[in-house]
C-alpha cells in the first residue's frame, strides 16, 4: 500500500527529532554518566554486573520491589564523549544504544580468551578448621552450628548405609554425596522453609535439614508403600510437596529453567521467598543452563543458582568441558551477580547463600554461586571412578579436605562439641532406619494419571496380574496383587 505525502521532507525531519536521530547526526558533548550495579557487600566480593546506563528520564525505570524497568527505546539515544575513561581522546565516544552503552575506539582490541587474574574463591575456615584472619562471615549460633554438623554426619552415615544396601542387591541404584556434605547442609541452613528447591540428584541433605526423616529416605529408595511416589521412581529421586522440594529428575539441567519460572512467579505474587536450584559443572554445558541464566537476568527473578563444581561430569573432567575460568564468570556474562566459594567450607557456604538469598529476595535479582568441591564418591553405583582418576587423588580429598572434619574442628574449638556427643550421634543414626515395610500394590502402577482409567490400561493391568500368577517366582513375593 502506498501513501502520497504532500510535505515528505518536513514529516521526515519531524520524525527524526522525535526519535532522537538528530543527536546522532549532531554529536552532543554532554557528560556520560553511569550507574554502578555492584552494591558493596561487607561479607564477600561478588563479581559485578555489566555497567548499566543512567536513563535521562527517571520515570522510565523503577527499582521498587515488584516493578519492572520500562525501557523507552529511542528516548536517550545520544552520542557522547567517554570522559571518564578517555578524557582527552576525541575519537572515543559512547553511543547510548538500545541494548546498552557502546564505547567506540579507534584501537582494534580483542577480548582475551582467559583472564589474567583468576576469580577469587571465598573461604572462612582453613583446612585445620581455624578461622582465617580478617575473614568476614555471617555469625552462626551454637544451636545452628551443632545442627549443621549433626546433619552432615547423618548424611555421611545415610550414604554408607544405602551404598552398602545397593552393593548387597537390596536396592537397584544409589548416588552418594561424599565430599559435598557442606554444600548440602550449609546451603539448606541459610535458606527458609518457604524457599522452593529444584534439586539435581546430589542434594538429599537439603531435604534432611528441612525435616525429611531417615525412614522417608528409606521408603523412597526401597519403594515402600509409604513412598510418596508409590514406588514408581528409581532410588534417590526424592520429592516432598510439604517441604517445597521438587521431585528429582534424572535428565540433566532441566530443573534450572523450572526454578527461574518459579522465581518469576514468586516475584509476581510478591512473596518473601526465592527459588533455589542445584546442578553440577556438567549441567552448565547444557543449553538449559544458559537459557535459564539469561531469562533470570532479564526478568530479574529472585533465584539462586548453586553449581557444585566437583571437577567431574561422570568421567568427563572440567578441562574437557570448558575453557572459562570456572562457572562464576559465566554469570557476569549474562548480567548475573556471582561468587566462587570453597564448597568444602561449611561456614563460607552458609555465609554466601545467606547473603545471596537476602539480595535475591530484597533486590529481585538472580545470584550464581559456584561451589568448588570434589566428588569423593563414584558418580553412582553404576560407575567406577578409579578407571578415569587416580585412587590416591580420591583418598587425599577424602582425608585432607573432608568438609565434615573441618567443620567439626571449628565447633570443637568453640567448645560446642566433644567425643561423647560424637559417639551418641553416630550410634543413634542407624537405629532410625527400618528397611522392611509393606510394598505398594500392583494397582498403583496404573493410577494417578487418568481420572477414569482408559480401557487399554485396564487391559494391561489384567494381563500383568495374569502373568504374575502364572510365573510367581519371577516377581517379588511381597508386592500385593
| Element (DSSP H or E) covering residue 312 | strand 312-313
Residue 14 CB-density burial (10 A; 0-12 exposed, 13-18 middle, 19+ buried): exposed
Can you tell me which residue has the cell 517445597? Answer: 244
CA distances from 182 to 149, 216, 290, 309 (A): 9, 22, 26, 13
Q: Which of 164, 438, 459, 466 is catalytic?
A: 164
Q: Which of 44, 364, 378, 379 is catalytic?
A: 379
CA distances from 90 to 21, 25, 86, 424, 469 (A): 21, 16, 8, 74, 89
97-328-117-359 Cα dihedral, nearest 10 degrees: 70
Cα 344–chain centre separation:
16
Tell me whether residue 380 is one of the annotated catalytic residues.
yes
Q: Which of 17, 62, 250, 423 is catalytic?
A: 250
Cα 69–chain centre separation:
25
Tell me whether residue 431 is one of the annotated catalytic residues.
no
Give the whole-angstrom CA distance, residue 256 versus residue 452: 34
- What's the DSSP call for residue 54? P
Task: Mention every residue, 6+ apart, whose C-beta is less than 8 A from residue 103.
Answer: 82, 85, 92, 93, 94
Tell me whether residue 59 is one of the annotated catalytic residues.
no
Q: Which of 23, 187, 338, 380 is catalytic?
A: 380
Tell me whether residue 70 is one of the annotated catalytic residues.
no
Mode of pairing for the β-strands spanning 275-280 and 196-198:
parallel
Task: Mention every residue, 6+ apart, whose C-beta is less than 8 A from residue 463.
Answer: none
Q: What b/e string do you get for 447-462 counting C-beta neighbours within 10 Å, with b at 16 or more? A: eeeeeeeeeeeeeebe
Task: Provide the annotated active-site residues.
Answer: 164, 250, 379-380
Amino acid at each position: 500500500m502506498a501513501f502520497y505525502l504532500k510535505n515528505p521532507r518536513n514529516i521526515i525531519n519531524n520524525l527524526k527529532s522525535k526519535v532522537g536521530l538528530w543527536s546522532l547526526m549532531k554529536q552532543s558533548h554532554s557528560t556520560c554518566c553511569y550507574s554502578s550495579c555492584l552494591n558493596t557487600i561487607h561479607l564477600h566480593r561478588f563479581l559485578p554486573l555489566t555497567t548499566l546506563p543512567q536513563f535521562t528520564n527517571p520515570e522510565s525505570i523503577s527499582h521498587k520491589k515488584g516493578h519492572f524497568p520500562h525501557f523507552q527505546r529511542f528516548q536517550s539515544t545520544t552520542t557522547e564523549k567517554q570522559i571518564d575513561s578517555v578524557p582527552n581522546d576525541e575519537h572515543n565516544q559512547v553511543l547510548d544504544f538500545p541494548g546498552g552503552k557502546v564505547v567506540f575506539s579507534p584501537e582494534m582490541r580483542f577480548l582475551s580468551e582467559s583472564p589474567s587474574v583468576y576469580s577469587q574463591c571465598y573461604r572462612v575456615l582453613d583446612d585445620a578448621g581455624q578461622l582465617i584472619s580478617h575473614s568476614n562471615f555471617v555469625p552462626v549460633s551454637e544451636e545452628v552450628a551443632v545442627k549443621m554438623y549433626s546433619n552432615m554426619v547423618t548424611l555421611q552415615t545415610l550414604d554408607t548405609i544405602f551404598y552398602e544396601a545397593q552393593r548387597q542387591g537390596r536396592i537397584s541404584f544409589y548416588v552418594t554425596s561424599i565430599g559435598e556434605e557442606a554444600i548440602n547442609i550449609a546451603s539448606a541452613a541459610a535458606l527458609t522453609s518457604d524457599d522452593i528447591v529444584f534439586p539435581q540428584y546430589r542434594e538429599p541433605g537439603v531435604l534432611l535439614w528441612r525435616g525429611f526423616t531417615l525412614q522417608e529416605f528409606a521408603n523412597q529408595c526401597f519403594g515402600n508403600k509409604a513412598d510418596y511416589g508409590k514406588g514408581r521412581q528409581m532410588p534417590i529421586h526424592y520429592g516432598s510437596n510439604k517441604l517445597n522440594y521438587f521431585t528429582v529428575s534424572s535428565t540433566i539441567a532441566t530443573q534450572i529453567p523450572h526454578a527461574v519460572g518459579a522465581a518469576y512467579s514468586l516475584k509476581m505474587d510478591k512473596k518473601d521467598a526465592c527459588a533455589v536450584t542445584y546442578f553440577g559443572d556438567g549441567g552448565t554445558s547444557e543449553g538449559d543452563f544458559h537459557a535459564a541464566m539469561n531469562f533470570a537476568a532479564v526478568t530479574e527473578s529472585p533465584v539462586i543458582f548453586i553449581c557444585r563444581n566437583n571437577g567431574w561430569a561422570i568421567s568427563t573432567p572440567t578441562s574437557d568441558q570448558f575453557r572459562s575460568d570456572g562457572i562464576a564468570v559465566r554469570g557476569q556474562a549474562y548480567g548475573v551477580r556471582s561468587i566462587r566459594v570453597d564448597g568444602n567450607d561449611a561456614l563460607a557456604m552458609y555465609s554466601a547463600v545467606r547473603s545471596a538469598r537476602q539480595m535475591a529476595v530484597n533486590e529481585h535479582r538472580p545470584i550464581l554461586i559456584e561451589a568448588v568441591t570434589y566428588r569423593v564418591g563414584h558418580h553412582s553405583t553404576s560407575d567406577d571412578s578409579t578407571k578415569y582418576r587416580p585412587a590416591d587423588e580420591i583418598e587425599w580429598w577424602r582425608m585432607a579436605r573432608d568438609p565434615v572434619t573441618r567443620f567439626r574442628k571449628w565447633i570443637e574449638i568453640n567448645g560446642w562439641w566433644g567425643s561423647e556427643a560424637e559417639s551418641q550421634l553416630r550410634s543413634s543414626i542407624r537405629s532410625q532406619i527400618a528397611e522392611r515395610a509393606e510394598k505398594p500394590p500392583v494397582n498403583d502402577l496404573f493410577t494417578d494419571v487418568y481420572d477414569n482409567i482408559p480401557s487399554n490400561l485396564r487391559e494391561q493391568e489384567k494381563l500383568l496380574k495374569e502373568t504374575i500368577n502364572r510365573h510367581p517366582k519371577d516377581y517379588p513375593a511381597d508386592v500385593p496383587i
